[in-house]
């Protein structure tokens, strides 16, 4: 059987990707050994030897001097073999009351917990960047779009905060995923528990887990927390891809709303005039990769009987690549957003040149007593007329207005981008006062989140938003 031979093939090997779990693996082993000694299952002396040996190995790996052996198919076998070389016979005691199944599981959960904390911290940075830009552009007006058609004027700050709130939901989801990740599987044995008087609560405390798993058969084959992370990441990438799309659109000559910093564009060897938003495009493309990893793990789980099956080894690479991708992308976006220069003049011009005040003109007529549907018809005709004349609504004379309705008056010229925005004075609306409130709330949210994140930076659960 391949375990016993040196011919263990490349097909089942995982060393090339699981070696990144070395810190978690060694921490898990140390806690386990301390527990075994504390419970009298192994001797204190053996425990000390093992802990010492593991500490040395950790130094070797960290320092790049660890003699990795490709003929041993994974991290765990490498560490064990090395420990044996170092301390001899007591090394074997490390596996008392533990199976490979619950060992690998605890490693991944420790790793995932760190990854989630990292994810949340990076989301916070991007939210901060969005908030900073929103605060810096409190008075900038641009056309809000539906169907990629200019619709109604909005504040740039309001537009940016829309993304802030998407990422806020992402933060919440990751925090909830954290709670289901924060469960110690160790002590489940191969599948049925272990026949030793171990102390699982001690292990949980040592390793910083909030609680222990409820059922050993579930614990050794549970990959829910990884699926959940991948699903949360997929939705977060969907949000980033939406923002990426807008950065690409806004960087085009047609929109010209935005100048990305030189760090985030590339030129062309052939076409010197170009400023390609490669980072935003690549991020949009990387959405596919994360969706793919989610589907991959769901496919792995489909139809798998209890308990551990080797299929589950496929849980790692997709997770690592997802976390790496998401983290790098969040970092790029935080930088890209915070260094972007918005072309306020062009935004305003786009709003003015279009007919985004049409709704307000209809509301104006309604205010004068015209029925809504009739007002809408009048403005539709008026807008068509203006378009044909190649005029903006503001450039029409009062006489021209009167051709469409006698209810227009001098005060029609008081319908402006500013008045339009100000009129949307409802909670969640784009009126400056409401946006100020929203900015203040966002600041508070980040402050709260940050302070909790700091507290949470040990092994305790992350702070969650009160509702």
147 included as an active-site residue: yes
The size of the interface with a second copy (CB under 8 A), counted in residues, is 176
Interface positions, 201-230, toward a second copy (CB under 8 A): 201, 210-220, 222, 224, 227-228
Q: Which of 139, 165, 85 is nearest to 428 (CA)?
A: 165
Catalytic residue among 6, 7, 147, 269: 147
Task: Give yes or no for residue 122 binding a second copy (CB under 8 A).
Answer: no
3-state helix, strand, coil in the chain (%, to 5): 65, 5, 30
185, 220 in Cβ contact below 8 A?
yes
Catalytic residue among 2, 268, 451, 457: 268
Near a second copy by CB under 8 A: residue from 242, 259, 348, 392: 242
Near a second copy by CB under 8 A: residue from 34, 113, 124, 286: 286
Near a second copy by CB under 8 A: residue from 48, 96, 338, 416: 96
415, 360 in Cβ contact below 8 A?
yes
Interface positions, 9-48, toward a second copy (CB under 8 A): 9-12
CA angle 422, 362, 348 (to 5 degrees): 45
DSSP state of 9: -
Q: Which of helix, strand or coil describes residue 413?
A: helix
Min separation Cβ 136 and a second copy, Å = 18
Stretch that binds a second copy, among 21-29, 44-52, 54-62, 360-368 (CB under 8 A): 360-368
137 vs 434 by CB, closer to a second copy: 434
Min separation Cβ 441 and a second copy, Å = 7
Task: Give yes or no for residue 369 binding a second copy (CB under 8 A).
Answer: no
Q: Where are the alpha helices (DSSP H) in 252-315?
A: 278-301
135 vs 314 by CB, closer to a second copy: 314
Interface positions, 163-182, toward a second copy (CB under 8 A): 163-166, 169, 172-173, 176, 179-180
60 vs 162 by CB, closer to a second copy: 162
Burial class of residue 294 in the structure, from the number of CB atoms within 10 Å of its CB (0-12 exposed, 13-18 middle, 19+ buried)? buried
Min separation Cβ 59 and a second copy, Å = 27
268 included as an active-site residue: yes
60 vs 81 by CB, closer to a second copy: 81
33, 45 in Cβ contact below 8 A?
no
91, 84 in Cβ contact below 8 A?
yes
Task: Give yes or no for residue 119 binding a second copy (CB under 8 A).
Answer: no
Interface positions, 421-450, toward a second copy (CB under 8 A): 421, 423-431, 434, 438, 441
**b vs e for 28-64, b when ≥16 Cβ sit within 10 Å of the residue's Cβ?**
bbbbbbbbbbeeebbeeebbebbbebbeebbebbeee
For 184-231, the DSSP string reads E-TT-TTTT--SS---HHHHHHHHT-SEE-S-HHHHHH--HHHHHHHH
| Cβ atoms < 10 Å from Cβ of 165 | 16
Near a second copy by CB under 8 A: residue from 318, 432, 449, 463: 318
Task: Give yes or no for residue 234 binding a second copy (CB under 8 A).
Answer: yes
Which residue(s) pair with 110 in the sheet?
A: none
What residues act catalytically? 147, 268
């Amino acid at each position: 059987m391949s375990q016993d031979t040196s011919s263990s093939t490349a097909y089942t090997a995982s060393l090339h990707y699981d070696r990144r779990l070395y810190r978690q693996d060694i921490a898990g082993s140390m806690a386990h050994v301390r527990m075994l000694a504390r419970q009298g299952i192994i001797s204190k002396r053996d425990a000390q030897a093992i802990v010492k040996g593991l500490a040395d190995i950790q130094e070797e790996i960290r320092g790049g001097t660890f003699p990795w052996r490709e003929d041993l198919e994974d991290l765990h076998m490498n560490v064990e073999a090395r420990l044996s070389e170092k301390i001899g016979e007591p090394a074997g005691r490390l596996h008392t009351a533990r199976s490979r199944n619950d060992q690998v599981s605890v490693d991944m959960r420790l790793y995932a917990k760190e990854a989630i904390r990292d994810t949340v911290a990076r989301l916070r940075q991007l939210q901060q960047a969005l908030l900073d830009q929103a605060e810096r552009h409190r008075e900038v007006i641009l056309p809000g779009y539906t169907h990629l058609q200019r619709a109604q004027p909005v504040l740039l700050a309001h537009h940016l905060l829309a993304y802030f709130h998407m990422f806020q939901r992402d933060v919440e989801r990751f925090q909830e995923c954290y709670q289901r990740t924060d469960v110690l599987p160790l002590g489940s044995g191969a599948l049925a528990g272990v026949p030793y008087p171990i102390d699982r609560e001690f292990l949980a405390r040592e390793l910083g887990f909030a609680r222990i798993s409820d059922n050993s058969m579930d614990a050794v084959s549970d990959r829910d927390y990884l699926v959940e992370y991948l699903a949360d990441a997929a939705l977060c990438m969907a949000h980033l891809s939406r923002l990426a799309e807008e950065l690409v659109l806004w960087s085009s000559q047609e929109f010209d709303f935005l100048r990305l910093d030189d760090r985030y564009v590339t030129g062309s060897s052939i076409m010197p005039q170009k400023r390609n938003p490669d980072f935003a495009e690549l991020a949009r493309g990387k959405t596919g990769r994360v969706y793919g990893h989610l589907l991959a793990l769901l496919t792995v789980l489909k139809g798998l009987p209890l308990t551990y099956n080797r299929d589950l080894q496929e849980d790692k690479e997709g997770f690592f690549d997802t976390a790496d991708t998401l983290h790098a992308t969040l970092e790029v976006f935080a930088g890209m957003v915070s260094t972007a220069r918005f072309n306020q003049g062009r935004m305003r011009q786009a709003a003015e040149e279009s007919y985004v005040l049409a709704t307000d003109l209809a509301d104006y007529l309604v205010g004068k007593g015209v029925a809504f549907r009739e007002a809408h018809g009048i403005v539709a005709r008026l807008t068509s007329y203006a378009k044909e004349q190649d005029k903006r609504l503001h450039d029409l004379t009062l006489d021209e207005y009167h051709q469409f309705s006698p209810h227009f008056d001098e005060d029609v010229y008081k319908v402006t981008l500013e008045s339009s925005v100000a009129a949307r004075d409802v909670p969640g609306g784009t009126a400056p006062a409401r946006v100020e409130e929203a900015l203040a709330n966002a600041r508070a949210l980040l402050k709260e989140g940050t302070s909790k994140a700091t507290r949470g930076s040990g092994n305790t659960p992350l702070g969650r938003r009160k509702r």
